[in-house]
């Protein structure tokens, strides 16, 4: 069977593939009328590009001419004819710019009504109009390219995982029991009054159970749900590349992800270098004031507490007197460009976010944005800086009850082996085997080596997190029936923002 994008189709070729090698060929094209010119040309479009159709002018072809010249923009037609070289001087730089097709037959599939907006990149459309007529918005070459890029990228990831590394694509249920603590889950009423399904936020428990089941290597392009209202970068349903492996350590998972991204990375975006930079949580907070630093630019935080060690300036004094209080500086090159109003906005941020953890990180980004608004390039929009952040604290004080601890990520993350003994003495000092993947300051993935022993999992739930372990009986029981050491990662949909 013939393969390629025109297999099994009414057309013989796509509108983007004809060139001088096809001159003299009898071809059939199908597509949308991009525009008509002077009753002489019809520009026909499909997903792959544009071809110029020459309208025949002879009396004997008057029916074809009439059919073509009556067309409205975005009507759908099939044209059959011969590929010709364009007359000298009429060529252009488009991929099909050296040829045209002289129409000999035309079939009109559908005549289009006047569209609410034109299918042209340069025509500005409002977001709401684009959403209302999403099927028209998707006709633009940019959206066509994006849809195809995503499909191909995911396909390459699948090939890498499935064909090269023995991963098994397993579909996990989405209608299931509520996850303990999963406050943001959608519920789905069942046929039994009072009983509800829940749409899970991630297949976390399923994939751990698959490891207990001996599946060894699992992946899924998993649909996940989160009931917290729509935000520009958070949608109620989203997709993650979900991975879990048995008999692996942190290093193994990280190398796998680096190789997968390298394998699937679109050639047109340049190559990416592995291994990625790695930074501890402590370093990230110290140098960038945030756990997902944008490492495309410098402007690191500098601790200048020493200079002010004997200061009597009151607000500096009081900062230093606080436990772990410090005075930090950000050197902003060309910061002298900032206007009074801009400096005021920086101060305002500092005031409103004072005492919140990522304040210094926010100020650093704000300075970068301000510099860029003055025409000073700071962050290269074409650069991709991947970064692993590791050695997160396993527990953090609860916001409302700082004496209590909660999981920094989730209660299934294993402690660093060298910190395990601290679980029983100083749990707030334990670092977890958790790793976040950061790209240009966005968290695009996160994962961990999991706890695989029931006794350790029970201790964390009951004694440290003070949670009722009865809700996780099924998981604790599974760990007791021969759970292998295992770990994984989820790469989120933020990843797509960059493509």
Residues 267-286 that bind its own copies (CB under 8 A): none
Nearest to 461 by CA among 395, 416, 400: 395
Q: Applying CB under 8 A, does 191 fall inside the site for its own copies?
A: yes
Q: Enumerate residues 426-465 that contact its own copies by CB under 8 A.
A: 452-453
To its own copies, the closest distance from the beta carbon of 113 in angstroms equals 5
> What are the DSSP E strand ranges found in 204-316?
217-225, 237-246, 277-280, 301-303
Q: Binding marks (x or -) toward its own copies, 104..123, rule CB under 8 A?
A: -----xx-xx-x--------
| Rounded CA separation 499/496 (Å) | 5
The CB density around residue 88, as the number of other CB atoms within 10 Å, is 6
Tokens 């195809």, residue? 148
Nearer to its own copies, 330 or 461 (CB): 461
To its own copies, the closest distance from the beta carbon of 481 in angstroms equals 5
Which two tokens mark 195? 């009983």
Tokens 């996990």, residue? 172
Q: Enumerate residues 227-266 that contact its own copies by CB under 8 A.
A: 227, 229, 236-237, 239, 245-249, 252-253, 255-256, 259
Which two tokens mark 430? 């334990």
Nearer to its own copies, 2 or 336 (CB): 2
Q: Applying CB under 8 A, does 186 fall inside the site for its own copies?
A: yes
Q: Applying CB under 8 A, does 169 fall inside the site for its own copies?
A: yes
* Residues comprising the chain, all counted: 499
The CB density around residue 258, as the number of other CB atoms within 10 Å, is 18
In Å, the largest CA–CA distance within the chain is 99
Which residue of 25, 91, 97, 133 would you call a contact of its own copies, by CB under 8 A? 133
Interface region with its own copies, contact rule CB under 8 A, candidates 120-128, 171-179, 315-323, 364-372: 171-179
Q: Applying CB under 8 A, does 157 fall inside the site for its own copies?
A: no
To its own copies, the closest distance from the beta carbon of 431 in angstroms equals 21
Which residue of 36, 50, 136, 489 would you call a contact of its own copies, by CB under 8 A? 136
Residues β-bridged to residue 78: 30, 107
Q: Applying CB under 8 A, does 74 fall inside the site for its own copies?
A: yes
Which two tokens mark 240? 């993650």
To its own copies, the closest distance from the beta carbon of 15 in angstroms equals 11
Nearer to its own copies, 73 or 350 (CB): 73
Tokens 């790695």, residue? 278
| Rounded CA separation 26/84 (Å) | 10
Q: Applying CB under 8 A, does 166 fall inside the site for its own copies?
A: yes
Which two tokens mark 386? 């991947």
Neighbour-count burial of 193, counting CB atoms closer than 10 A to its CB (0-12 exposed, 13-18 middle, 19+ buried): exposed
Interface region with its own copies, contact rule CB under 8 A, candidates 51-59, 68-76, 392-400, 410-418: 68-76
Q: Applying CB under 8 A, does 417 fall inside the site for its own copies?
A: no
Which residue of 151, 302, 318, 463 would you call a contact of its own copies, by CB under 8 A? 151
Which residue of 144, 305, 326, 471 would you call a contact of its own copies, by CB under 8 A? 144
Per the CB < 8 A criterion, the answer to whether 50 and 140 are in contact is no
Nearer to its own copies, 22 or 217 (CB): 217
Q: Enumerate residues 2-21 that contact its own copies by CB under 8 A.
A: 3-5, 7-11
Q: Which ranges constitute the DSSP H helices of 265-402?
A: 281-288, 314-321, 340-352, 359-373
Q: Applying CB under 8 A, does 155 fall inside the site for its own copies?
A: yes
């Amino acid at each position: 069977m013939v393969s390629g994008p025109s297999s099994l189709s009414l057309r013989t070729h796509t509108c983007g593939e004809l060139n001088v090698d096809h001159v003299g060929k009898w071809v059939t094209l199908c597509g949308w009328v991009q525009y008509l010119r002077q009753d002489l040309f019809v520009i026909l479009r499909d997903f792959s590009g544009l071809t110029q159709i020459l309208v025949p002018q002879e009396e004997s072809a008057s029916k074809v001419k009439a059919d073509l010249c009556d067309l409205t923009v975005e009507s759908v037609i099939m044209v059959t004819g011969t590929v010709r070289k364009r007359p000298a001087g009429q060529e252009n730089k488009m991929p099909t710019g050296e040829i045209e097709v002289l129409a000999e037959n035309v079939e009109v599939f559908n005549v289009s009504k006047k569209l609410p907006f034109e299918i042209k990149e340069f025509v500005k459309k409002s977001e709401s109009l684009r959403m209302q007529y999403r099927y028209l918005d998707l006709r633009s070459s940019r959206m066509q390219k994006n849809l195809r890029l995503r499909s191909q990228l995911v396909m390459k990831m699948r090939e890498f995982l499935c064909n090269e590394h023995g991963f098994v694509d397993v579909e996990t249920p989405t209608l299931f029991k509520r996850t303990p603590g999963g406050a943001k889950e959608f519920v789905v009423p069942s046929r039994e009054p009072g009983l509800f399904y829940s749409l899970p936020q991630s297949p976390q428990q399923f994939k751990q159970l698959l490891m207990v089941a001996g599946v060894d290597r699992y992946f899924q392009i998993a649909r996940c749900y989160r009931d917290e209202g729509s935000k520009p970068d958070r949608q109620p349903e989203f997709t993650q590349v979900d991975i879990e492996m048995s008999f692996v350590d942190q290093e193994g998972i990280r190398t796998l992800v680096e190789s997968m991204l390298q394998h699937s990375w679109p050639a047109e975006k340049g190559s990416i270098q592995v291994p990625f930079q790695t930074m501890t949580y402590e370093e990230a907070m110290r140098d960038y004031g945030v756990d997902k630093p944008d490492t495309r630019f410098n402007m690191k935080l500098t601790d200048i507490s020493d200079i002010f060690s004997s200061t009597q300036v009151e607000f500096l004094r009081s900062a230093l007197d606080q436990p772990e209080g410090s005075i930090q500086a950000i050197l902003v090159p060309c910061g002298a460009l900032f206007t009074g109003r801009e400096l005021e906005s920086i101060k305002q941020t500092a005031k409103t976010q004072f005492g919140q953890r990522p304040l210094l990180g926010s100020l650093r980004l704000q300075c970068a944005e301000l510099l860029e608004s003055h025409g000073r390039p700071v962050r290269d929009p074409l650069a991709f800086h991947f970064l692993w952040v590791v050695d997160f604290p396993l527990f953090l004080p609860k916001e409302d009850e700082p004496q209590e601890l909660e999981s920094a990520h989730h209660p299934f993350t294993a402690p660093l082996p060298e910190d395990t003994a601290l679980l029983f003495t100083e749990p707030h000092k334990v670092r977890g085997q958790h790793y976040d993947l950061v790209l240009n300051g966005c968290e695009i993935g996160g994962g961990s080596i999991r706890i695989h022993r029931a006794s350790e999992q029970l201790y964390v739930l009951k004694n440290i997190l003070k949670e009722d372990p009865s809700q996780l009986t099924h998981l604790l029981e599974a760990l007791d029936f021969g759970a292998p050491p295992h770990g994984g990662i989820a790469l989120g949909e933020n990843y797509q923002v960059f493509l």
